[in-house]
Chains A and B, each alone.
Chain A
Amino acid sequence: MRYLPLTDSDRQAMLERIGVDQINDLFADIPKDKLLADLVDLPLAVGELQVERQLAALAAKNVAAGSVPFFVGGGAYRHHVPATVDHLIQRSEFLTAYTPYQPEISQGTLQTLYEFQTQVALLTGMEVANASMYDGSTGCAEAVLMAQRITKRPKAILSGTLHPHYRAVVENMSEFSGHDLVSLEGAPGAVEDIISLIDDQTACIVVQSPGFYGDLVNLAPLAEAAHAAGALLIAVVTETISFGAIKSPGEMGADIVVAEGQSIGNGLSFGGPYVGLFATRQKYLRQMPGRICGETVDADGQRCFALTLSTREQHIRREKATSNICTNSGLCCLAFSIHMSLLGEVGLRKLAQLNHRNAILLADQLEKISGVELMTGAFFNEFTIKVPGNAATIIEALAAKNVLGGIPVSRLEPGRDDLADLIVVAATEINTNEDRAAFVVALNEVLS
């Protein structure tokens, strides 16, 4: 087997050195009747070429986003990632290193985490950020738990702007951890009165902007109302590129910002791995979950970095930890950070404008199709349209014409008949004039 260095003669020599006759003597603690006599019922080892063929065959059955006009978003976005990013994250020293618990031989990982934390803090307009969560949705559930710890109050209020999957993750966590939850129903362009729901039991309100349906929300009045009642505002962002065009949640008064960082540096990968961004105010630092990297010095006084404040974490605090999280999204943070340093301020702002402009062009064109209605007023690179007919059927029909034209809301809100004719459509810098034209032509055909 190509991955195993021991030869049979090595094995024999080692068994002799250990002083046992056969390998099973080392497995003597496994109850005899439970030790498998035969190989498990799975295929036998094959060479690299054969494996590659099998996986290639599976890959060939899928429609790759890059092969068709593509407008799917909903919390995962297709952006161009510079070639440099994928090269650098595959360097052995980054790819095959463990969590940097030995700072003397892990400065590469540690310094990039410190830079990542700073980038996240700058983008979100917050004071501190951690070294990432699994993804935006789990980060969102962690943020709610954190707000409940800080305020010592049980209730969270979720805005209808929140991505339905995120809502489901928070609902699940709240149910199992015994917290209260109020979820508002979402709809494109909806004006919701979240403020009147805030009471003295409310730990936090959770609002996403750009929202799931694309709507932009001014967070400032919500933050003000939450603070007046002793509650926190958790701002959720699923499209990180939007930070380049829109006021930061920190600027608008958010207390915790949770974002899905996939858009920068990370491909679609059918939903994961992604990278959760998590930032907050300095005063809440000790209640923040996840790994944190900090600056210090070595014995020679040289500036360096180390994981710190780990007494919050499970491996030390055990059942009193702020979270059970251990693994973060290390390599995805690195991809994020590299792409972000290539973009810089200038690149991010330009990229955000390009996304916004492409979305406007698309919305204008789609709106002209007979029977199609644009449901979103202010938006960034994603909006909702109402179509004359069942959205899921229409999306399938578009796919048959080789256009991936968005997400039927019914896929995420199957119980809501009132949303069955809605499609969430995203546009990014990857879309060309030809892509948009193809979408319009196909949709016209499908509707007629």
Chain B
Amino acid sequence: MTMNSEGRPTAPSAPSQGVGRKTFTGNRGLQIEEALLFEVGRVDNCGVDLEDIGDFDSRLGGLEREREIGLPGLSEPEAMRHYVRLSQKNYAIDMGVYPLGSCTMKHNPRLNEKTVRFAGLADIHPLQPQSTVPGAIEVIGQLAHWLKVLTGMPAVAMSPKAGAHGELCGMMAITAALKARGERRQFVLVPESAHGTNPATAALLGYKIRAIPAREDGTVDLEVVKENLSDDVAAIMLTNPNTCGLFEKDIVEIADAVHAAGAYFYCDGANLNAIMGKARPGDLGVDCMHINLHKTFSTPHGGGGPGAGPVVFSERLAPFVPLPFILDGKLVEDVTEAAKGTGEGSQTFGRMTAFHGQMGMFVRALTYMISHGADGLLQISEDAVLNANYVRVCLQDIMSLPFGERPCMHEALFDDSFLEGSGVTTLDFAKAMIDEGYHPMTMYFPLVVHGAMLIEPTESESKAGLDLFVAALRDLVFAAKAGDLERFTGAPHLAPLRRVDETRAARQPILRWTPPVAAEAAE
């Protein structure tokens, strides 16, 4: 079997040390319990007032709904409380450091939220005549321009809905370009440190994956890449800066080797935040790269989405961009029209989604980019890298760096060797951070490092904020080494919940609420 024991948080092993007294309501001061919508709502309750229209002859062709749906309703005050109480059980960037490596949890400016709600940008339909939405097309065009200049790439696909969707877009373009050359290649090279989306994307398109191991210094070995290249390799999917927080210093040579083999260089742009204004992927030999607007350009993560994943393309891939695309200030939506041109989009591979992409994210990202300007975007990268290195240096004497004491980019990667013999795991350590009021860092990723802890502070943290964060982590490390197991194995002690039993959730999946009566009958 392929043993994969990385990241095995399972059922809680230690009982909780209940803090404080039990209350009658279950509430604890400002921490208020909230039952499920289906328990507080009633099927005959409603929080909207709609016109009474009386009876009329329907034209539903005999397909009228007869059965009750079973949807509970809430009046407005009940709804307000339900969701406000629930919101208070979430950690958020607006509350504190959110050092999730590879996720770029930066401040989300509220100006973005204001501009995106301007009626002329929010209340427009994707299929109303183009003549009635020139400003919207200009927003997409302007953002496209900013992205192209910043990355030094000549073309961009704006429609992909998220990073992984962007990867799919890039790999489709590569496949289409190969096809145009009369080729169908079988393999894609993916470093072991890559995000899981990379191999998943390549596999979705029928490629076989060749995993490239990491070198001892955490970067990709040029010689190994060369050994794995052949005329049957379509592309390499490389993240740069990589998921170990390091810049692939042989990137230009890797790109040259890939091109010499007739293959393409897909760059995962998840970590663009480290190099904006410092270096341009276009100068490094990249053929296409997705950009996570929800990471680098501050569009809110919203509890898991929505994101946006525009993809920039080199000259070689520009003809293959998907529909729709902006050309000379016009939105090109149709193959025949696209084929009239000679450059960008002239051999478009088709459509990835209905309509034109994540406009709501475009407006936010453009607002953010205009706010920062060329100078501010450069400062972002410098501050992000500075903050990460500051954290690294402040912790490297007591935590363990897998690749030695060397500068990192915008995130600092530690492994769990400093916890060896303490009885504390990476997971326990992370859960203890929750008690200190911090969201844990990314754990057990990248897979190439044992018990990985990947810290990305972003440029949004102040020095004072980082000093306290670092002091808290140092205190935890000392406690772990001193054998204060109780602080870790039962953690979190002070969160809204004790350690959650994820094993039970997976062994007996309960994925929706069912009425108590029905649930009993089913047993």
**Among B125-133, B223-231, B257-265, B475-483, the stretch in contact with A:** B125-133
Within the complex, what minimum Cβ distance (angstroms) separates B318 from chain A?
18
Query: What residue in chain A is nearest B89 (Cβ atoms)?
Result: A107
Are B373 and A327 within 8 A (Cβ)?
no
**Among A75-83, A193-201, A221-229, A436-444, the stretch in contact with B:** A75-83
A246 at interface by CB-CB < 8 Å: yes
A417 at interface by CB-CB < 8 Å: no
Q: Mark B299-321, 1 if CB is under 8 A from A, else 0.
A: 01111111110000000000000
Are A29 and B247 within 8 A (Cβ)?
yes
Are B128 and A63 within 8 A (Cβ)?
yes
B523 cross-chain contacts in A, Cβ below 8 A: none
B136 at interface by CB-CB < 8 Å: yes
Are A104 and B69 within 8 A (Cβ)?
no
Within the complex, what minimum Cβ distance (angstroms) separates B495 from chain A?
4
| In the bound complex, CA of A400 to CA of B504 (Å) | 61
Q: Mark B275-310, 1 if CB is under 8 A from A, else 0.
A: 101111001100000000010000011111111100
Are A319 and B203 within 8 A (Cβ)?
yes
B43 cross-chain contacts in A, Cβ below 8 A: 344-346
8 Å CB contact of B511 from A48, A243, A292: A292
For chain B, residues 200 to 230, give those with C-beta under 8 angstroms from any C-beta of chain A.
Answer: 200-206, 209
Q: Mark B445-481, 1 if CB is under 8 A from A, else 0.
A: 1000000000000011111010000000000000000
A158 at interface by CB-CB < 8 Å: no
| In the bound complex, CA of A190 to CA of B502 (Å) | 50
Are B434 and A341 within 8 A (Cβ)?
no
Please count how many residues in chain B sit with their CB below 8 Å of the partner chain's CB atoms: 211
Among B74, B90, B307, which residue has the most Cβ atoms of chain A within 10 A?
B90
B5 at interface by CB-CB < 8 Å: no
B197 at interface by CB-CB < 8 Å: yes
Are B506 and A309 within 8 A (Cβ)?
yes
Are A338 and B371 within 8 A (Cβ)?
no
Contact A43:B374 (CB < 8 A) given known A343-B46, A351-B50: yes
B420 at interface by CB-CB < 8 Å: no
Query: What residue in chain A is nearest B300 (Cβ atoms)?
Result: A95
A332 cross-chain contacts in B, Cβ below 8 A: 302, 305-306
Within the complex, what minimum Cβ distance (angstroms) separates A11 from chain B?
6
Are A26 and B385 within 8 A (Cβ)?
yes
Are A168 and B351 within 8 A (Cβ)?
yes
Contact A4:B380 (CB < 8 A) given known A51-B370, A98-B98: yes
Are A326 and B284 within 8 A (Cβ)?
no
Are B304 and A131 within 8 A (Cβ)?
yes
B251 cross-chain contacts in A, Cβ below 8 A: 31
| In the bound complex, CA of A399 to CA of B351 (Å) | 27
A351 cross-chain contacts in B, Cβ below 8 A: 48, 50
For chain B, residues 343 to 386, give those with C-beta under 8 angstroms from any C-beta of chain A.
Answer: 349-361, 363, 366-367, 369-380, 382-383, 385-386
B521 at interface by CB-CB < 8 Å: no
Are A302 and B205 within 8 A (Cβ)?
no
B485 at interface by CB-CB < 8 Å: no
Are A341 and B126 within 8 A (Cβ)?
no
A254 cross-chain contacts in B, Cβ below 8 A: none
A52 cross-chain contacts in B, Cβ below 8 A: 111, 114-115
Query: What residue in chain B is nearest A351 (Cβ atoms)?
Result: B50
8 Å CB contact of B512 from A55, A57, A78, A117: A117
Within the complex, what minimum Cβ distance (angstroms) separates B376 from chain A?
4
| In the bound complex, CA of A430 to CA of B48 (Å) | 14
Contact A137:B120 (CB < 8 A) given known A30-B275, A294-B509, A344-B41: no
Are A93 and B88 within 8 A (Cβ)?
yes
Query: What residue in chain A is nearest B119 (Cβ atoms)?
Result: A64
| In the bound complex, CA of A30 to CA of B34 (Å) | 51
A177 at interface by CB-CB < 8 Å: yes
**Among A180-188, A262-270, A365-373, the stretch in contact with B:** A262-270
| In the bound complex, CA of A122 to CA of B94 (Å) | 34
Within the complex, what minimum Cβ distance (angstroms) separates A345 from chain B?
4
B423 at interface by CB-CB < 8 Å: no
How many A-B residue contacts, CB cutoff 8 Å? 719
A334 cross-chain contacts in B, Cβ below 8 A: 302-303
| In the bound complex, CA of A269 to CA of B363 (Å) | 10
Among B305, B307, B389, B394, which residue has the most Cβ atoms of chain A within 10 A?
B305
Are B139 and A48 within 8 A (Cβ)?
no
Contact A323:B111 (CB < 8 A) given known A216-B61, A298-B500, A378-B60: no
A98 cross-chain contacts in B, Cβ below 8 A: 98, 100, 103, 105, 301, 303-304, 439
Q: Mark B47-71, 1 if CB is under 8 A from A, else 0.
A: 1101101001111111111111111
Are A308 and B506 within 8 A (Cβ)?
yes
A316 cross-chain contacts in B, Cβ below 8 A: 196
Among A138, A260, A316, which residue has the most Cβ atoms of chain B within 10 A?
A138
A135 cross-chain contacts in B, Cβ below 8 A: 161, 353-354
Are A306 and B502 within 8 A (Cβ)?
yes
Are A354 and B126 within 8 A (Cβ)?
no
| In the bound complex, CA of A4 to CA of B380 (Å) | 8
Within the complex, what minimum Cβ distance (angstroms) separates B72 from chain A?
6
Within the complex, what minimum Cβ distance (angstroms) separates B519 from chain A?
11
Contact A3:B275 (CB < 8 A) given known A115-B36, A172-B351, A270-B126: no
Contact A88:B80 (CB < 8 A) given known A97-B91, A245-B60, A298-B497: yes
B247 cross-chain contacts in A, Cβ below 8 A: 27, 29-30
Contact A123:B69 (CB < 8 A) given known A64-B119, A327-B305, A357-B56: yes
Within the complex, what minimum Cβ distance (angstroms) separates A83 from chain B?
9
Query: What residue in chain B is nearest A266 (Cβ atoms)?
Result: B360
Within the complex, what minimum Cβ distance (angstroms) separates B283 from chain A?
5
For chain A, residues 44 to 93, give those with C-beta under 8 angstroms from any C-beta of chain B.
Answer: 44-46, 48, 51-52, 54-67, 70, 72, 74-76, 78, 82, 84, 86, 88-93
Query: What residue in chain A is nearest B495 (Cβ atoms)?
Result: A104
| In the bound complex, CA of A300 to CA of B280 (Å) | 51
Are A39 and B378 within 8 A (Cβ)?
yes
| In the bound complex, CA of A2 to CA of B110 (Å) | 12
Are B94 and A96 within 8 A (Cβ)?
yes
B183 at interface by CB-CB < 8 Å: no
| In the bound complex, CA of A94 to CA of B119 (Å) | 23
Are A4 and B379 within 8 A (Cβ)?
yes
Are B306 and A272 within 8 A (Cβ)?
yes
For chain A, residues 90 to 137, give those with C-beta under 8 angstroms from any C-beta of chain B.
Answer: 90-100, 102-109, 111-115, 117-119, 121-123, 127-129, 131-132, 134-137
Among A63, A260, A344, A347, which residue has the most Cβ atoms of chain B within 10 A?
A344
Within the complex, what minimum Cβ distance (angstroms) separates B114 from chain A?
7
Contact A36:B303 (CB < 8 A) given known A102-B439, A319-B202: no
Contact A343:B48 (CB < 8 A) given known A115-B38, A294-B509: yes
B150 at interface by CB-CB < 8 Å: yes
Q: Mark B175-215, 1 if CB is under 8 A from A, else 0.
A: 10000000000000000000111011111111001000000
Contact A67:B119 (CB < 8 A) given known A1-B372, A90-B113, A342-B47: yes
For chain A, residues 160 to 174, give those with C-beta under 8 angstroms from any C-beta of chain B.
Answer: 163, 165-166, 168-169, 171-172
| In the bound complex, CA of A17 to CA of B495 (Å) | 34
Are B132 and A404 within 8 A (Cβ)?
yes
Are A314 and B89 within 8 A (Cβ)?
no
Contact A343:B511 (CB < 8 A) given known A268-B124, A327-B304: no
| In the bound complex, CA of A327 to CA of B290 (Å) | 14
Are B497 and A104 within 8 A (Cβ)?
yes
Within the complex, what minimum Cβ distance (angstroms) separates B14 from chain A?
7
Are B355 and A272 within 8 A (Cβ)?
yes
5 tightest Cβ-Cβ pairs between the two chains A and B: A344-B73, A378-B61, A271-B355, A59-B120, A331-B302
Q: List 24 A-B contacts (CB under 8 A).
A: A26-B389, A35-B278, A45-B373, A58-B136, A63-B124, A64-B124, A66-B119, A88-B84, A96-B108, A105-B89, A109-B303, A176-B349, A247-B66, A247-B67, A267-B122, A273-B306, A294-B506, A314-B200, A324-B168, A324-B197, A327-B161, A327-B163, A340-B71, A344-B47
Known interface pairs A40-B377, A328-B305; 8 further A-B residue pairs with C-beta atoms within 8 A, sorted by A's residue number: A18-B386, A104-B496, A134-B162, A176-B205, A245-B64, A248-B69, A268-B124, A318-B203
